[in-house]
Amino acid sequence: MNQPKVKVGVLGATGAVGQRFVQMLQGHPWFEITALCASERSAGKAYADACTWTIRGDMPEHLRNVILRPCEPNIDAQLVFSALPADSATEIEMAFAQAGYGVCSNARSYRYDADVPLLIPEVNPEHIQLIDVQRRKRGWEGFIVTNPNCSTTHLVSALHPLHVRFGVRKVFVVTMQAISGAGYPGLSAMDLLDNVVPHIGGEEEKMEKKEPHKLLGFFNGAEIDYADMVISAHCNRVPVRHGHLEAISVEFAETPDEAEILAAWRDYYPLPQQLQLPHAPQPAILYNEAPDRPQPRMDRLAGSVPGMATVIGRLRPDPLFDYKFIALGHNTIRGAAGGSLLNAELLLTQGYLGREAAALAQTLQVA
């Protein structure tokens, strides 16, 4: 007997991240797309007519003729995935939450609100309890949950098991970020051909002062006590299509040896992996021992769920800090749509999409 799935919508379905949501939701065991929403310019058109499909693989055939809806909270869905730009996400996401919808957002609009979870399910699953605070404070039955910036995602994923064991005090990170992170059409080819752009607006501030500290912070029952660490970041746009590469140096409160660091990554088995969530990679972190890896073209899709793992390599002593290493992650999969999707899977299993949905997940996991 076919089990009923949770009905979901995609806001901003025609953009690069929206397309990735559509792609990753195909055949999902728990969720089914029942609404595709877009701007006023595209609403009323068939999805295939309004959307210039830019990602590898074909547009799902059964969605080609779906008529795009306006981004208004009157759709047949329980949960929406938001791929909206921040300037429109602020108003629209709030309207959906006020109307009782769950919102899993890729936008930055609410990431830093004290009552809104900023989630990486492997890192801070307990922060979903902020939803209860949010509902009491704002008086709505829906909720907003966010995922971090794509460059932050893999930095924090690599740091978390080390921070738990040894305490991270200082971090110096240099990012080499793929052009797809700028959206589509994004930067002109003439800007990046034979070039590196040593500036990405707002990116360094997010990494230095906001996102990692909230993600690695402690939920005290009412709010997040931010983690106490110092981060310095240089963010660069490079001529790579997908995959953000990060050179990371770390100083610890208790300095481990190299074997202890490798063991922390190897033994990392956080909640999503324990629950065997559909988009939780097994393992969450891959360590590549080759001296010239990871590389975006070769490793961005590594792992049991392509594009969802963090790939690490080149661990070695650092003469200024304690240790340094390279981390790589897929920016539009784990760093965007995949991160929101994994958030939704965690929310479902923890009962935030209703008891029936949680029971469905448990039934399918056992099966």
Instruction: List, in order, residues 6 or more apart from 39 with CB less than 8 Å away.
Output: 12, 14, 71, 88
SS3 110: coil
**Distance between CA 282 and CA 205 in Å, rounded?**
32
Contact 133, 225 (CB under 8 A): no
Do the beta carbons of residue 312 and residue 293 sit within 8 Å? no
- Fold of the domain built from segment(s) 150-330: Dihydrodipicolinate Reductase; domain 2 (3.30.360)
How far does Cα 288 stand from its chain's mean position?
22
Indicate if the alpha-carbon torsion angle 302, 305, 310, 313 is positive or negative. negative
**Residue 176 contacts residue 236 (beta carbons within 8 Å):** yes
Q: Spot the catalytic one: 150, 154, 213, 235.
A: 150
Q: How far, in Å, CA of 107 to CA of 127, rounded?
A: 18
Is 242 tagged catalytic?
no
Domain with CATH 3.30.360.10 in the chain: 150-330
Per the annotation, the verdict on 154 as an active-site residue is no
Block mean pLDDT (10 aa), the chain, length 367:
85 94 96 95 94 90 95 97 94 97 96 97 98 97 96 98 98 96 64 88 93 98 96 96 97 97 98 97 98 98 98 98 98 96 97 77 58
Instruction: Exactly one of 127, 163, 244, 279 is catalytic; name it.
Output: 244
DSSP string, 270-325: -HHHHHT-TT--SSSEEEE-STT---HHHHTT-TTTTT-SEEEEEEEE-SSSSEEE
Helix or strand holding residue 8 (H, E): strand 6-11
Q: In angstroms, how far is CA 277 from the centroid of its own chain?
A: 15
CATH code for the part of the protein at 6-147+336-366: 3.40.50.720
**Residues forming CATH 3.40.50.720 domain(s) in the chain:** 6-147+336-366
- 326 touches 313 (CB < 8 A): yes
pLDDT at 191: 75
